[in-house]
Structure 1
Amino acid sequence: MAQLQLGPPPQQQQRPAQPGQPGQPQQLSPQAPRPPQQARPARPATPSDTPPSGQPDASRDQRRRALPGETVAPAPDETVIAPPRQRITNPTAVFSGLDKITGRIIAFDVAIDETVQFGALQVTPRVCYTRPPTETPQTTTFVEVDEVTLNGEVRRIYSGWMFAASPGLSGVEHAVYDVWLTDCKQSAPVIPGQAQSQPPATR
């Protein structure tokens, strides 16, 4: 005679309740509690954001309180661009020439794109630049130096920049003579023999 089972079948007792099934409530496991909902982080302020009411902008307040002649650091959202360096174009270059045999040094002026011969060297400056007094001094020239050989031939021995502050950087290589830049001038060079004589004083 068959016996009736009052309880559910063994398979149904061991099977855990599946969440989402109709007629069965959803149960949460005590080992995995539901994490609390985290607060959404606030959006960081951008340079375009307006400061809150009652709190003035620090960068504007700092610039407004700056005294005349006082240097104020720029705000973090500002980019400072240095102005380009200015240079002054001069019509005359001033050189010094050394005779290595006699040890004599001669200073001479050369107009731009003109050629002056010192010993066996012909010096031709192309440009001569200086800086305004408000900037760091720097005097430069682009010059071409030719050597006149004993046979009358002209040979280029130097073509490049010369710096008045660093005469040793120029690469003029000659056994007897040396030339370097000393200054640039706005006035035209004075040629010997062309100076105007003063009229005699009348009594």
Structure 2
Amino acid sequence: MKAARFALLASLLLGAPAIHPAQAQMDPGWDAKREAELQALDKVTARITILKLQLNQPITFGTLRITVRACNARPPEEVADAAAWLEVQDTRNDSGGKPVFQGWMFANAPGIAMLEHPVYDLRVLECR
């Protein structure tokens, strides 16, 4: 369980290509969930919004279009953590959306893989 998470974290740190959730084998230490809770920050207004997203149902926050493809949580008997596979596009100058983030974000390690955007910030809070 820890080895799989370590391998994923190491690949992120070393710049290896991210594993798409459809290609990844489910680690038995994670439970698949259907809903993700994200914290979205608008850096211009300093407003924080809690977003609840269903899998594969895109929502809009400002100029971002956010889609959660997978959301996994640790079982209740383990230390709480959540990991979500996000696809984020910015529609500001392109109605089709310019990709600005694609990959796993971890609730307990937000600095490992984060959205780098001048106006918005996203953070995974939990998976339900």
Give the share of equivalent positions with the same residue, in percent: 31
- Does 1 or 2 have the higher relative contact order (CA < 8 Å, sep 6+)? 2
Aligned length: 102
1:117-176 deviation line (CA, Å, top 9, x unaligned): 100111100111111122232210111011102353411111100001122222311111
Dislocated runs of 4+, deviation >6 Å: none
Larger radius of gyration: 1
Deviates more, 1:135-144 or 1:121-130: 135-144
Tell me, yes or no, if structure 1 residue 131 matches structure 2 residue 77.
no
| CA-based RMSD | 1.5
Q: 1:161 is matched with which residue?
A: 104
More strand by share: 2
Could you tell me whether the CA contact under 8 Å between 2:81 and 2:126 is conserved in 1? Answer: no
Could you tell me whether the CA contact under 8 Å between 1:90 and 1:184 is conserved in 2? Answer: yes
Tell me, yes or no, if structure 1 residue 117 matches structure 2 residue 117.
no
Can you give the 5+ residue segments of structure 2 that lack an aligned partner in the other structure?
1-26
**Please, what TM-score do these two structures have when normalized by structure 2?**
0.73
**Please, what TM-score do these two structures have when normalized by structure 1?**
0.47
Q: 1:178 is matched with which residue?
A: 121
Could you tell me whether the CA contact under 8 Å between 1:120 and 1:177 is conserved in 2? Answer: no
Can you give the 5+ residue segments of structure 1 that lack an aligned partner in the other structure?
1-83, 186-203
